[in-house]
Amino acid sequence: MSNDTELKALWQRWKVLFWEWGEQTDEGVAKDLFLRGESVLGEIAAKRAEGLDGLAIQYGLYCYYRHPSLDPHSEPLADTILAGLVELTGIDAYGEAMAIAESPPRGEMQ
């Protein structure tokens, strides 16, 4: 089974858990469903996407959870997305932007 196929299955499982969590009125059951969903999210973050389908799943969840600085629990997912995009495309836009941002101001370069 390819990693993208596994990511699709994990995505389906996460959606079911997330839906059930939102429908729960019992706090104990809701907490269990939330924790199980977080565990599935961890599996999605740990799996290397092999194509655009896998990246779309990972990036979609990243967008849902937002930037890692807002939620440190999503940082592994963000790292997985960035590594996958760089690996598939050879483009490290984040790394290049950070290098530019950290370079000295143009006036200081003379």
Name which residue leads in pLDDT, 51 or 107. Answer: 51
Q: Which contacts of 12-19 are long-range, i.e. CB under 8 A and separated by 24 or more positions?
A: 13/40, 14/40, 14/41, 14/44, 14/61
Return the pLDDT at 47.
95
Q: Distance (Å, rounded) from C-alpha 54 to C-alpha 65?
A: 17
pLDDT digits (tens, 9 = 90+) for 21-80: 888 889 999 999 989 999 998 999 999 999 888 887 887 787 677 655 566 777 788 888
Return the pLDDT at 106.
46
How many structural domains is the chain composed of? 1
Return the pLDDT at 109.
42
Burial class (CB in 10 A: 0-12, 13-18, 19+), 99: exposed
What domain range is 57 assigned to? 3-109
Count Cα atoms within 13 angstroms, Cβ side, for 80. Answer: 25
Return the pLDDT at 107.
47
